[in-house]
Amino acid sequence: MSATLFFFVPSVVFLTIVAPLWLILHYWSKHKSRQGLSQDEEQLLEQMAGTIEGLEQRIHTLERILDNQHQGWQRDQS
């Protein structure tokens, strides 16, 4: 009888407290992840996009300078 009680009590505690809480938190986190980006994340993404555009412009400028000063610099790299 004590072995049955030993397994029964933790099972009841798990099924009444832990399992419902686990399911609630699981589906809450799934719902939150589907909502998309927060405003802070959107701002950060826009900031990164602006930084990338600036870096692309710098690369193009450097390539033009190298083209003017060192003809065929791209072939030297290969």
Radius of gyration of the chain (CA): 30
How far is the C-alpha of 64 from the C-alpha of 78, rounded, in Å?
A: 18
Measured between alpha carbons, how far is residue 77 from residues 56, 67, 69, 73, 74 in Å? 20, 13, 15, 7, 5
Quick: pLDDT tens for 16-74.
Answer: 999 999 999 999 988 888 888 888 989 999 999 999 999 999 999 999 999 999 887 87
Burial class (CB in 10 A: 0-12, 13-18, 19+), 25: exposed
- Predicted TM-score (pTM) above 0.75: no
Residue 51 one-letter amino acid: T
Q: For residue 6, what pLDDT band results from cuts at 50, 70 and 90?
A: confident
